[in-house]
Amino acid sequence: MQTVEYYKAKAKELFLSGCNCTQSVVGAFAEDFDIDKRTLMMLVSPFGGGMGRLREVCGTVSGMFFVAGLIYGYSEPGDNGKKAALYAKIQELAALFREKNGSIICREILGLGAGADKPTPEKRTAEYYKKRPCPDLCADAAGIIAQFIIDNPPPA
């Protein structure tokens, strides 16, 4: 595990390089998992833009949840104890992000109207970055989950 600042910087760097918000957060942790980065990035690619630009749950939040699942998740379908423990962690992560950013909903954070956007992403120009807090949101989410992991070490 790297430092919180490492994950924050890496997530922001990935977003600025063209990754979507979910890929940026998850990609910052890619070296920590026994999954090849290409597969990891493909798995989370639909979650950017609040789930495929539907502007629902912020992709950075989805990225935090994905990382949490890889660390604290369960695989037995009937294990309600582990399921409840994971869901408690997810709710705590959501509360931490909401406390810092006001919402976990993409359209609310970005000040957009109701409903989905067109599926075609906007060009990443200087003007785009002036109106979008997404690089900083990627850093926030990566920092939140990194600190959470430090404060809540995974089972051995």
108 assigned to some structural domain: yes
Summarize pLDDT for 83-94 with one digit per residue, the tens. Answer: 999 999 999 999
Q: Sign (positive/negative) of CA torsion 66, 89, 14, 119?
A: positive
13: Cβ contacts below 8 Å, ≥ 6 apart: none
In the chain, what is the straight-line distance between the N-terminal and C-terminal CA atoms, in Å? 14
pLDDT score of 115:
78
Mean pLDDT (the chain) is 93
78 assigned to some structural domain: yes
Residue 100's domain spans which residues? 4-151
pLDDT score of 100:
96
Q: What band does 113 get if pLDDT is binned at 50, 70 and 90? A: confident
130 assigned to some structural domain: yes
121 has a pLDDT exceeding 90: no
Distance from CA of residue 122 to its chain's centroid? 20
% of the chain at pLDDT higher than 90 = 77
Query: Length of the chain, please?
Result: 156
- Token couple for 53: 């630009």
Report the number of distinct structural domains present in the chain. Answer: 1
123 has a pLDDT exceeding 80: yes
pLDDT score of 72:
95
Only one residue has tokens 């992560």, namely: 93
Summarize pLDDT for 26-65 with one digit per residue, the tens. Answer: 999 999 999 999 999 999 999 999 999 889 999 999 999 9
Phi, psi of 124 (to 5 degrees): -85, 90
Report the SS3 class of residue 105: strand
d(CA 29, CA 97): 18
Mean pLDDT of 121-141: 88
156 assigned to some structural domain: no
Mean pLDDT of 65-87: 93
Q: What band does 156 get if pLDDT is binned at 50, 70 and 90? A: confident
